[in-house]
Amino acid sequence: MRWRQAGITLVNARVIGEAGRVASTVRVRGDRVDGLDVAPARDDLVVDLDGAVVTPGLVNAHDHLELNSFPRLKWRERYDNAGEWIADFQPRFTRDPCLAPANPETLEDRLWVGGLKNLLSGVTTVCHHNPLHRSLRRPFPVRVVRNYRISHSLLIDGPQVAESYRRTPSEWPWIIHAAEGVDGAAAREIELLDQLGCLGANTVLVHGVAICAERGRQLASRGVSLIWCPTSNAFLFAACADVRAFDDAGRLALGSDSRLSGEGDLLDEVRAAAATHQVSAEGVVRMVTSGAADVLRLTGAGRLRARALADLAVIRPLANDAYDTIAGACRTDVTLVMVGGQAALAAPELADVFTHLGVERTEVMVDGQPRVMARWLARRARRLRLAEPGLEVAAC
């Protein structure tokens, strides 16, 4: 096949490499990265990015893909713990008109809305906190993590979480919502998980708002990881997790959560995380690339290096510093997304990438900006009964 032979070299770029290295070129051949700071081969498509930033495809460590077709919902100004929100939410699930699309017939389409939401923000891998529906094992806008186990929370699953943890292979992450709130009940969940023997080196806590700095250091030293969802926490609890101990230990990832509580997409979380100044811009980028890959035990994601899968996103230059550019970006700043060396989304000026790869494309609009999208994705997006807000697809 032609595309397996034809390389693409992105030049005049700022490429996020490993260990803080920023390269000026990256070459993609087939589904892999050929190298950083390498010269184009003779038949390559050479794309001058004029200072744009190339990041490893972003890793969204926490989403509920099927719950992105709803508005943010709460029924009190501020909650003290997630149990209060769940108690408000559950009786309304079948009655609230805002939640009317949440019926089983729309599940597959809603999962796709979640996939498109992630792709448009430069995400190429997402960890879905719910069972892996069959449509997530078929061609989908982004990669979905397969090797992991979840519990919802102690609030929903109770002490049965211990059995879930025990059955999780030690090399897979075990992921659970925990300490989601600001009161003693939220904080006590950590002690309960400890008593149940659920705090080990493959334990990944989501939220952790009620974890104090000292407890954070103890947990991080035991290898426990944290997935931070800052806009969800601000919305429900008007509070922010103290993530510094997990960042220092390299045990921190970032997640968007669903739009039921989160602001929108992973880039919204990136900007919110940077605004707390708990973590440097480079640290924020690490949370959505290599750090997330480490937390989720992903060997093929989050890093651009020779022979890695060519999952990448290009972000137009917004600041002198490459990390500041990513930390300040929103999805209209994303000008190219490739998944496994295949073009998925591009700004019109980068549409040659589709031509070179032989990928059929369709013109779309994203938040009022023209983009081209792989036709197979655009066709599916157009058929969905629920639309991804801001994505307009003409007939294709």
Write out the residues near Zn ion by the rule CB under 5 A. Answer: 257
> Which helix (DSSP H) or strand (DSSP E) does residue 29 occupy?
strand 26-29
Query: Which of 257/388 has CB closer to Zn ion?
Result: 257
Query: Which of 264/328 has CB closer to Zn ion?
Result: 264
* Token duo for residue 200: 């080990």
Q: Minimum Å distance from CB 316 to Zn ion?
A: 31
Q: Minimum Å distance from CB 153 to Zn ion?
A: 9
Q: How far apart are CA 381 and CA 122, in angstroms?
A: 17
> Which helix (DSSP H) or strand (DSSP E) does residue 382 occupy?
helix 375-383
Query: Which of 23/178 has CB closer to Zn ion?
Result: 178
Query: Which of 257/263 has CB closer to Zn ion?
Result: 257
Q: How far apart are CA 364 and CA 388, in angstroms?
A: 12
Q: What 3-state DSSP class applies to 32?
A: strand
Burial of 132 (0-12, 13-18, 19+ CB in 10 A): middle
Query: Which of 121/151 has CB closer to Zn ion?
Result: 151
Query: Which of 14/259 has CB closer to Zn ion?
Result: 259
How far, CA to CA in Å, does 178 sit from each of 29, 85, 227, 371?
42, 14, 10, 39
Confirm if 60 and 125 have CB atoms less than 8 A apart.
yes
Q: What 3-state DSSP class applies to 297?
A: coil
Q: Minimum Å distance from CB 203 to Zn ion?
A: 16
Query: Which of 61/353 has CB closer to Zn ion?
Result: 61
Q: How far apart are CA 364 and CA 220, in angstroms?
A: 44
- Tokens 């796709």 -> residue: 112
Radius of gyration for the alpha carbons in the chain, expressed in angstroms and rounded:
21
Q: Minimum Å distance from CB 36 to Zn ion?
A: 35
Query: Which of 66/257 has CB closer to Zn ion?
Result: 257
Confirm if 256 and 229 have CB atoms less than 8 A apart.
yes
Q: Minimum Å distance from CB 335 to Zn ion?
A: 30
* Token duo for residue 277: 């100044």
Q: Minimum Å distance from CB 70 to Zn ion?
A: 14
Query: Which of 155/329 has CB closer to Zn ion?
Result: 155
Query: Which of 25/68 has CB closer to Zn ion?
Result: 68
Q: Minimum Å distance from CB 108 to Zn ion?
A: 20
Q: Minimum Å distance from CB 363 to Zn ion?
A: 34
Q: How far apart are CA 22 and CA 3, in angstroms?
A: 27
With the C-alpha atoms ordered 22, 26, 32, 35, is the resulting torsion angle positive or negative? negative
Query: Which of 228/354 has CB closer to Zn ion?
Result: 228
With the C-alpha atoms ordered 339, 147, 65, 286, is the resulting torsion angle positive or negative? negative
Q: Which residue is nearest to Zn ion (CB)?
A: 257
Q: How far apart are CA 345 and CA 362, in angstroms?
A: 10
Written as one letter, the residue type at 174 is W
- Tokens 């954070």 -> residue: 216
Q: Distance between alpha carbon 134 and the CA centroid of its chain, in Å? A: 20
Beta pairing, strands 252-254 & 334-339: unpaired
Q: Minimum Å distance from CB 44 to Zn ion?
A: 42
Q: Minimum Å distance from CB 392 to Zn ion?
A: 29
Q: Minimum Å distance from CB 129 to Zn ion?
A: 5
How far, CA to CA in Å, does 365 sit from each of 131, 290, 369, 389?
31, 30, 5, 11
